[in-house]
Amino acid sequence: MDPAEKIEVKERIQAAIVAAEKDIATLEELTKPISPDNAIGRLSRMEAIGSKSINEANLASARTKLAKLKYALAGIDKEDFGICMECGEPIPIARIMIVPESKFCVSCAE
């Protein structure tokens, strides 16, 4: 990876971190306990509980993603950044741009 690509990846990761933090804040808001008698609008309480569990799952994956992004950002200046942990081949820059938190190339990730 050349230095210009590295800067681009770094910016991409930082932007993804900001986005993930925003998602987490929104999801934390959505996963607050539902009181039995509050007005949920058009949603019934059961529906609200259903979407709450979806939001909780999304919140958990957003937190995992954020942790991975922070890890990727911390490791970006290391020599093995962008190298597949499985096969040791460089991960294509296009893939790093899409999933900067990935430690595997496309074929090893499958």
In the complex, which residues of this chain contact Zn ion (CB under 5 A)?
A: 84, 86-87, 105, 108
Nearer to Zn ion, 9 or 82 (CB): 82
CB nearer to Zn ion: pick between 17 and 81:
81
Angle at 15 between CA 10 and CA 19, to 5 degrees: 145
For residue 90, the minimal CB distance to Zn ion (Å) is 9
| Nearer of residues 69 and 91 to Zn ion, judged by Cβ | 91
Number of C-beta neighbours around residue 10 at 10 A: 15
Q: At what angle do helices 45-75 and 3-30 cross, to 10 degrees?
A: 160
Asked if residues 36 and 45 have their Cβ atoms less than 8 Å apart, the reply is yes
Q: In whole angstroms, how close is the CB of 45 to Zn ion at the nearest point?
A: 47
C-beta closer to Zn ion: residue 1 or 48 = 1
Q: Is 94 helix (H, G, I), strand (E, B) or coil?
A: helix
Task: Give the shortest CB-109-to-Zn ion separation in angstroms.
Answer: 8
- Give me 57's structure tokens: 């799952």
Smallest gap from Cβ 33 to Zn ion, in A, equals 43
